Structure 1
C-alpha cells in the first residue's frame, strides 16, 4: 500500500497486558497502526509494539537498518515498490519453510514478487492494490455523465476532462498520475515495469512515450492543478472537490474516509481505469530482518496478520485489499459502502485482483522509477521534449544499473 503521509516517528505500544514488556516490534507506516491496534489484543501470547513512520522515511530507515545490520524491528512492512531491491539485499530471513504450506491461498503474482533471485520466499504479501479510478459522483452522474462512457478509453477520459474544464473543474490533481497509470498497466507479458526479461531498459518504448503524451495533453490543456500528491494542498483538493478523479489502489478509500476527506462521504464512486485495464497500484509485504531477536514470535505475528480473519479486519478497517484469495467469498464483499454512495465496490476490486498479470520486480526498479519521474517532471514543468527526456533517462539508467 503506497501512502506517504505526514507523520512523525511514533512508537505505539499495543500490549495485550501491561505486565509484559514488548517482545515483537513491527516497523511500518500508516494506516497500518489502525489495523495493528485492532488485531493485537487477539494475539495475547505476545506484546506487540509498532514503530510508525511516514512512508518515505520508513523505507529510508529500513534501507539503513538492513545495510548496518541493526535497528530494524522484528517484523517490517514493505511497499511493493521496494520489494525487488530489498528482498535481494540479503537482509531478510528465508521464510520458505514457514510459508510454503500457505502460499497457495494468496494471489500468485504477489507471492512470486516476494521471492528472491534464488527462488526462496523472503517477504509475504499482506495486501494488494487493485488499480482503480476514484471519481466524484457530483461531477459525474449528477452532471449527466456516464462513467462507463467516460472510461471507455484514455481519449474519452481526456474528453471528459475538457468538458469539466469548461465548468472550471479539474480532471485530476496532477497529470503525472495519468502517466504512471499508463506505464504501469500496459506491461507486455514477461516484461518488468522498466526492464525486459534480459535487463534491458524499456523507458524509451512506445508504452512510456504514450504515457508521457497523455500527461502532457492534460497539463497543456489546463486539466490538472499541478498539485503534488501526498501534500496538504492535495488533501485539501479531496476535501474541497477541486478535482474530479484520482487514480490509485483500492486502499485510497481507507485514507479518504478515515482522515483525508471524511466529510465527503457519498460524493465518491470507483471504477475500472480507462479501457478496462487490470493492474496493481501498490500493495504491501511483511518480512523478518535477520537481526530480529525472536524469529518464531515474529512469524507468529505475520501468520496472525495474513490469516483469513485478520485480512478481512484490515480490509474493513483501512481498505487494505486482502492478499488471501479465500476472503473473496466473504459476504462483506457484497455489502454496500456508504462512503461510495452505497456502491458494492469490493466485488469490483476482487475481479481486478483476480485478473492481474504478474510483473516481475527488478533490482534496478527504484533507480529507474526515480529517473523516469524526473524525466516526466522535466516534460510537464520545464518544456523538455518527451523524446529527449526519455532518452536522457535511459542513458542514466544504463549508467547506474548494472
Structure 2
C-alpha cells in the first residue's frame, strides 16, 4: 500500500511499476570519485584542470584534500605506514620522494599496467631520474621542476658599482662582490650563510650519487664538496655578509621589501613568489642571472604518485589523471602561467610563453635562461634519510658559524652520526 499517495489497496504489478518509475526515476550512471591529496599551490592547479578533465570523464569527480606542505607530508607518512585514509593520487615534493620510495609504499610505475618508461623521453631527464630509486623502481611522475637561478637587485648593484658578471664569475668573486655591496649600501649579500652551503653541496655531485649518500648508502658528507661549502659559508659569516634570517620567515620577506638583501639563490619559481606576494613593490628592480661559477642545481619539484595500498578499483583512473596533469601540454602550460610551476614536460617548453618578457624582472626574457639551466641539471639520487641528513649537516654548520667549531671536526661528527642511520 502507498498511503502517502492517498491510495489504499493492492495495485496490479504493471501499474505499480509504472508509478514507481515516475516517483523514482532510473538512476543515472554511477559517479566515481578520485581523491587527490595536495598542498598549495598544487591544489589550485588540480582544481583549475577539472573542467578539462570532466570533458573526458563526466562520470568521475575529483575530491581535492589540501593541507599546508608540512602537514600534508606528515599525513601521507601516516597514511602509508597504516594503509588508512590513502588518497588515489598523492602529491609529493621532491625532498619527500626518496623517503617514501625506499619504504616500498608506492606503486612502481615502471611495471604494468603503468609502463611509465615509454614516456621517459617526454620529460626533463633529471626529473625522471629523481623519481627512480636504487632498485630501479619509478615511484612517481614529474609534474614540475625548479631550475636554479640567482635573483639580483639591480638598484643595489648599481649603487655599489658591482656588475652581474662579478657576482656570477666564481664563488670567490661572488663573495668579494658582497664585500663591496655591504660597504657601499649596507645591504647583505644573501639572507643566510646556510644558503651558500645549500647550493654548493648540490654542485659537483657524481652521476648516480645523492647529496648525502651514494647508491650503496655510503655517507658522502666528509668530502671536498662539503668542506668547500662549509668554508665559503663560514667566510660569508665572518665577513658579515649574511642577514642571519631563515627562508620563509617574516624577517626574510621584509628584507626583500626593504632592499636589505642583494641576491637570492632559489628555483625559478621564486620570481613569481616575489612578484605575487613576497615583495610586489620591488617590481622591475630584480634580474635573473645564472648561478655563480657555471653551477646548475635544482631547487624543488613536484611529483604525483599512487600508493600501493590505495583503492585498487581506482588505480587505472588515478594513473590516467596523473598522465593528464604531467603529460598534457596544455595542462603543463596552464600550471606554469598561473602558478609559476615550471613544466617538467619538454613539449611544454617550446611555447612562445618562454619568449615573453617578465615585467617583474624589468622586461627580461628570463624563462629562456631557466630552460637552458634545466637542460644542464644532472639528477641527484634521493635517499630515505635525506631529511635527517640535512638536519644533521645544518646543526654542524650552525656550530661552525656560531661557535667557531672546526670544520673538519664538524664534518667528521656528521659523518659518524649519519653512518649509524644510513641503512635504517
Aligned to 1:205: 223
Tell me, yes or no, if structure 1 residue 59 matches structure 2 residue 73: yes
TM-score by length of 2: 0.86
Query: C-alpha displacement at 1:315, in angstroms?
Result: 1.4
Question: Any stretches of 5+ residues in structure 1 without a counterpart?
Answer: 1-19
Aligned to 2:263: 245
1:254 touches 1:320 (CA, 8 Å); kept in 2?
no
CA distance in 2, matches of 1:343, 1:144: 21
Aligned to 2:7: none
1:34 touches 1:317 (CA, 8 Å); kept in 2?
no
Tell me, yes or no, if structure 1 residue 185 matches structure 2 residue 203: yes
1:115-154 counterparts in 2 under 5 A? 115-141=132-158, 143-154=160-171
CA distance in 1, matches of 2:209, 2:137: 21
2:162 touches 2:181 (CA, 8 Å); kept in 1?
no
1:129-171 residue CA offsets vs partner (Å, 9 max, x unmatched):
1111111121124654221232100111111111111121111
CA distance in 2, matches of 1:246, 1:141: 17
TM-score by length of 1: 0.90
Tell me, yes or no, if structure 1 residue 28 matches structure 2 residue 28: no
Three-state SS of the structure 2 residue aligned to 1:327 is: helix
Aligned Cα root-mean-square deviation (Å): 2.0
Select the structure that is richer in helix.
2
Query: C-alpha displacement at 1:112, in angstroms?
Result: 2.1
CA distance in 1, matches of 2:84, 2:402: 41
Q: Greater CA deviation, 21-30 or 292-301?
A: 21-30
Aligned to 1:13: none
2:166 touches 2:177 (CA, 8 Å); kept in 1?
no
Tell me, yes or no, if structure 1 residue 90 matches structure 2 residue 90: no
Structure 1 or 2, whichever has the larger Rg, is 2
CA distance 1:116–1:186, change in 2 (3 Å)? closer
Query: C-alpha displacement at 1:216, in angstroms?
Result: 1.1
2:47 touches 2:64 (CA, 8 Å); kept in 1?
no
Three-state SS of the structure 2 residue aligned to 1:25 is: strand
1:2-53 residue CA offsets vs partner (Å, 9 max, x unmatched):
xxxxxxxxxxxxxxxxxx9882222222222332232222211333232222
1:367 touches 1:401 (CA, 8 Å); kept in 2?
no
Aligned to 1:227: 245
Specify which of 43, 51, 56 is matched with residue 41 of structure 1.
51
Aligned to 2:342: 321
Question: Any stretches of 5+ residues in structure 2 without a counterpart?
Answer: 1-29
1:133 touches 1:273 (CA, 8 Å); kept in 2?
yes
CA distance in 1, matches of 2:347, 2:86: 31
